[in-house]
């Protein structure tokens, strides 16, 4: 369960958003500039809300009324950024292993094999991020986030920087992830088609406010971005 | 011409020892200061920045004299360090290393700071979301990515340290075998009749050391950059 009730002033722009989602994949849907990224940065702990609470399952991550703010590195919330953000000085194997090392988790060969299999990245292990295609990079970033064993996975337009062909290449992996990995996800996108394929619950955002909440039926019918 | 006398050898060895010790001690300190200046906002930041750069703009004699007042035998810190820790700087090679460290510090810090500023903060954020505490982010992401700058800073600092003259001679004088570095030996030789050939020998040695340092730093930087961009 993800419970968010926050407000944040960012210059001229303000976010006031409140929702509770039990879905396997919560879709944050809205045009660019609607505040989607700021909202998931708050969930990740990268941005501190001015007021409000954020909770995952029974744990409070932010509660400004009692000055609780768990830093990002203690939240165990995975984050896949639009621009992958693989570490350029580490090869794919080391990138994938990074979260396990930082969290001092035991080496779990079965889990690693499962994730590499799920994302088809077993053949990339010795390469540097600079030598990967955009789609490969995004798959490695997904694997890296998963192997840190998060309790919630945030995906900020993971297909946003890819062309149509690559999107079609990655989307099935995301569907498999949803159905097989068993980790609740928050999926950010401005593409209603992507949302329909992935999200089980939709939070519609407009200028920093939640304008609709519900199943995929709240999405606009056309495939043109909102 | 190339018959280097024992006194000259001593000066060369002492210069190398002073510069290496000064660089090795200043580097971790320089990395810490560079990181603070690049990544943190705190009260008095511009004052700290100015203080570090002061040796660059003050006459070296002034810096040397201030060191003498502070770390000399009767100096504020000097007396305490000698009494409690047995560390003496005045008229010792350790004092020369201190003077060289202080004088080269701004040159050491600057490239490190610039390279830390150039590290993409979004990568540091990503490391945080993977569970890396701030000190782990620094050791596994920031520092390795800033490594070319750290090496550049070390070479610049070393080059400055080995050539330092004004502050060193003011603080610890020019004692053969203890505080007489290449620079102060050349200075003495020029003032001695018939010292020209010996001075020239040391000049050649200085040039050789400087060239070696530059070539080595280029090689290091190339290797570090290659490592970062994946080959």
Contact A149, A103 (CB under 8 A): yes
Q: CATH code at B35? A: 1.10.3720.10
Task: Check whether B216 has a pLDDT greater than 90.
Answer: no
Domains and CATH numbers, chain A: 2-218 (3.40.50.300)
Provide ipTM, 2 decimals.
Answer: 0.91
Report, in this order, helix, strand and coil percent for chain B, each rounded to 5: 80, 0, 20
| Residue-number span of the structural domain to which B40 is assigned | 9-58+92-228
For chains A and B, CB pairs below 8 A equal 78
Q: Name the residue among A44, A85, A127 with its Cβ closest to that of B123.
A: A85
A44 shares contact with chain B (CB less than 8 Å): yes
What is the rounded distance in angstroms from the CA atom of residue B98 to the CA atom of residue B168?
A: 9
SS3 of A34, please? coil
Query: Which residues in chain A have Cβ-Cβ distances shorter than 8 Å to B129?
Result: 44-46, 72-73, 75, 77-79, 145
Domain presence at residue B84: no
pLDDT in tens, B39-90: 999 999 999 999 999 999 999 999 999 999 999 888 888 888 888 888 889 8
What is the rounded distance in angstroms from the CA atom of residue A201 to the CA atom of residue A57?
A: 17
Domain presence at residue B80: no
Query: Which residues in chain A have Cβ-Cβ distances shorter than 8 Å to B228?
Result: 88-89
Task: Check whether A224 has a pLDDT greater than 60.
Answer: no
Put simply, the answer to whether A98 touches B145 (Cβ < 8 Å) is no
Q: How confident is the model at residue A161 (pLDDT cuts 50, 70, 90)?
A: confident
For chain B, how big is the Rg over CA atoms in Å? 20
Q: How many domains does chain B have?
A: 1
**If interface means Cβ-Cβ distance under 8 Å, which residues of chain B face chain A?**
120, 122-123, 125-134, 136-137, 140-141, 144-145, 227-231
Mean pLDDT estimate for chain A? 91
A76 shares contact with chain B (CB less than 8 Å): yes
Domain presence at residue B63: no
Domain presence at residue B79: no
Give the per-residue pLDDT at B87.
86
Question: What does pTM read for this prediction?
Answer: 0.87
Give the per-residue pLDDT at A223.
53
Domain presence at residue B67: no
What is the rounded distance in angstroms from the CA atom of residue B105 to the CA atom of residue B97?
A: 12
């Amino acid at each position: 369960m993800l419970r968010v009730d926050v407000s944040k002033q960012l210059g001229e722009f303000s976010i006031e958003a409140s929702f509770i989602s039990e879905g396997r994949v919560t879709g944050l849907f809205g045009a660019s500039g609607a505040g989607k990224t700021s909202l998931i940065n708050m969930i990740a702990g990268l941005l501190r809300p001015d007021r409000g609470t954020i909770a995952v399952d029974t744990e409070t991550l932010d509660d400004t009324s009692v000055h609780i703010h768990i830093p990002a590195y203690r939240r165990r919330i995975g984050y896949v950024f639009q621009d992958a953000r693989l570490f350029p000085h580490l090869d794919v194997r080391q990138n994938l292993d990074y979260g396990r090392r930082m969290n001092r988790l035991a080496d779990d060969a079965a889990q690693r094999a499962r994730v590499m299999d799920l994302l088809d990245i077993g053949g990339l292990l010795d390469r540097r991020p600079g030598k990967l295609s955009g789609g490969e990079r995004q798959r490695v970033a997904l694997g890296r986030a998963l192997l840190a064993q998060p309790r919630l996975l945030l995906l900020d337009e993971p297909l946003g920087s890819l062309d149509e062909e690559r999107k079609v290449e990655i989307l099935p992996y995301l569907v498999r992830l949803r159905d097989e990995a068993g980790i609740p996800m928050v999926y950010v996108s401005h593409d209603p088609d992507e949302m329909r394929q992935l999200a089980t619950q939709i939070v519609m955002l407009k200028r920093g406010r939640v304008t609709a909440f519900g199943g995929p039926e709240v999405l606009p019918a056309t495939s043109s971005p909102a | 011409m190339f018959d280097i006398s024992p006194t000259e050898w001593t000066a060369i060895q002492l210069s190398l020892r002073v510069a290496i010790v000064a660089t090795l001690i200043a580097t971790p300190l320089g990395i810490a200061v560079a990181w603070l200046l690049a990544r943190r906002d705190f009260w008095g930041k511009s004052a700290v920045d100015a203080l570090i750069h002061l040796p660059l703009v003050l006459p070296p004699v002034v810096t040397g004299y201030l060191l003498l007042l502070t770390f000399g035998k009767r100096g504020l810190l000097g007396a305490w360090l000698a009494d409690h820790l047995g560390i003496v700087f005045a008229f010792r090679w350790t004092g020369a290393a201190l003077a060289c460290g202080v004088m080269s510090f701004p040159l050491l810090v600057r490239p490190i700071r610039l390279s830390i500023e150039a590290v993409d903060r979004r990568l540091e954020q990503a490391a945080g979301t993977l569970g890396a505490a701030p000190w782990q982010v620094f050791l596994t992401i920031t520092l390795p990515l800033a490594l070319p700058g750290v090496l550049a800073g070390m070479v610049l600092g070393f080059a400055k340290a080995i050539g330092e003259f004004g502050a060193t001679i003011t603080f610890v004088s020019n004692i053969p075998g203890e505080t007489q570095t290449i620079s102060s030996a050349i200075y003495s030789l020029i003032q001695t009749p018939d010292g020209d050939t010996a001075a020239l020998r040391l000049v050649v040695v200085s040039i050789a050391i400087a060239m070696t340092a530059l070539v080595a730093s280029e090689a290091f930087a190339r290797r570090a950059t290659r490592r970062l961009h994946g080959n």
